[in-house]
Chains A and B, each alone.
Chain A
Amino acid sequence: MQIQFEQLVREHGGRIRRIARRYAPTGSVDDLVQDILVRLWRSLRSFRGEARIETWIYRVALNAAMTSMKDLIRERELRTSLSEKSVTEHIAAPGGSEAEVLESFMAGLGEIDASVLMMYLDGLTAAEMSSVLGISDNAISVRINRLKQKFSDNYVE
């Protein structure tokens, strides 16, 4: 079990850190990464391998990120709106790289939309996203279409 876990951390560490970077308050990314790893370790036994490991990682990581007590209130005060923040506030500088566009677009989304975007970019299907978030495939598709529209409105000339 321990060897499998170490392998998981090695292979998916980048994904875990990226998720943490989106949700953790500045300076607390390492704490959230640690929290996610602890939860992954605790729930490793319940992972039956019936779904892709990425799907399971998203479940655990998003649960950790959004329900962690630590720093959540401070974070809440910093973010005035959860999901309706104007993307225009975060638009990357003209000529910015794809990575910068990704960073700025992600920063302008609320917690739930950001999680959908991450899973979409990671290639999860609507059904897989549905099993992570607990809402219907249809609802996921609606959100993805809205994200595409929002991106198009702000980044496509």
Chain B
Amino acid sequence: MNLDDLKKPWNAEVSQRSGMPFSETLRSTIANVRRDAQMRDFWMIAPLAVLAGGAVFFNWWTRDVVSVQSRIGVISIVTLAALVTVVLLYARRRSSYDDLTLKARLEREVDFLGRQVSVLLNVGYWFLLPMFLLGVVSSLMGHYERTGSYVPGLAFWRLHAVSLVVCLMAFWLCRREAQRKLAPLASHLKQLHRDLVSRSAGDSNGPHARI
């Protein structure tokens, strides 16, 4: 027996005509994939847009006199919302083509996962810390505008102790997601890529053009 003798059982298996219809299940799966992607984007970006819009409307648009502190606060929130949106969209950017060569696809997936891991590992720097500090500064400014004093009361410390705990939990969850799920997956795909390109003498970059 040689390798070519396996063509017969192989062809027998693959030539079986399938009764799989383009069913409602598949239709709904496709719809779900699209809906999930849209919902993810929505729930990440919409709250930030609402926060920025609310800050502009209530702290700037509807006021006759806008203090320097309020202007700084509003500009900070809008800038942060824009920054976070850009970071998220950039991190989620990936090819929608499924028919790239396997080598090209693996490279894109590894690149995509690398960006996701980086975003999650650094979430404290680009999102949580700025949000926390912005919250602290905003409430201090509000307190100053109401009372003329920069010395906050007990409610201030309670509120920000809770928000600090929430931020730390979010930080921990993001790092856990990156380290336990995404990093091992990226490692697996890198290993596949190495296996694909390194085990053949005289290998060179093959065609990447779509069929």
Contact = CB atoms under 8 A, between A and B. Distances in A.
Interface of A: 2, 5-6, 9-18, 33-34, 37-43, 46-48, 50-51, 55-56, 59-60, 62-64, 66-67, 69, 72-73, 76, 82-83, 97-99, 101-102, 105, 110-112, 115, 118, 120-123, 130-140, 142-143, 147-148, 151-152, 155-156
Given A34-B29, A102-B10, A60 B200 contact: no
A10 B104 contact: no
Contacts of B13: 14, 18, 99
A66 B106 contact: yes
A75 to B, nearest CB: 9
12 contacts: A9-B22, A13-B17, A13-B20, A17-B18, A59-B100, A63-B99, A98-B6, A121-B11, A130-B207, A131-B206, A133-B103, A151-B6
B207 to A, nearest CB: 5
B99 A59 contact: yes
Say whether chain A's binding surface is mostly helix, strand, loop, or mixed: helix
B17 A46 contact: no
Given A59-B98, A133-B206, 14 more contacts: A17-B18, A40-B98, A41-B30, A51-B211, A63-B99, A73-B184, A73-B188, A82-B191, A112-B192, A134-B205, A135-B205, A138-B200, A139-B200, A143-B199
A132 B101 contact: yes
B211 A142 contact: no
A136 B30 contact: no
